[in-house]
Amino acid sequence: MLKKIQILSPASPIFKNITDEYIDVFQSHKDKVNDVPPNFDIIAIDGDNIIQAIENKKFNIWGFQFHPEGLFLVLLTILVGREEELDPLS
């Protein structure tokens, strides 16, 4: 199912190439995150204020509740040409 999410942190490297504040993403379940791990920030939510993306800036780690691979355009926008920038080992 398509769901609209709000990007709270457009400066996050993972959303760097996305210029819209709201984007449609694919979500196929009703799981949700209640507590964010230490040192992670919430970077996207949906219309029900359910966490949709988190990030740890120090280690370049991201977590998604939606499926970025579900909409090929979203996945391409996030990844293309940015392999080194997003690599946590670089």
Q: What is residue 79's predicted lDDT score, i.e. its pLDDT?
A: 60
Cβ neighbours of 83 (radius 10 Å): 9
Question: What is the pTM assigned to this prediction?
Answer: 0.76
Q: Cα(51)–Cα(36) distance, rounded to whole angstroms?
A: 9
Q: What is residue 32's predicted lDDT score, i.e. its pLDDT?
A: 84
CB 14 within 8 A of CB 25: no
- What letter does residue 42 receive in the DSSP assignment? E
Q: What are 60's strand-pairing partners?
A: none
Which residue, 65, 63, 64, is CA-closest to 31? 65
Residues ≥6 apart with Cβ < 8 Å to 48: none
Question: Which regions in the chain score pLDDT beneath 50?
Answer: none
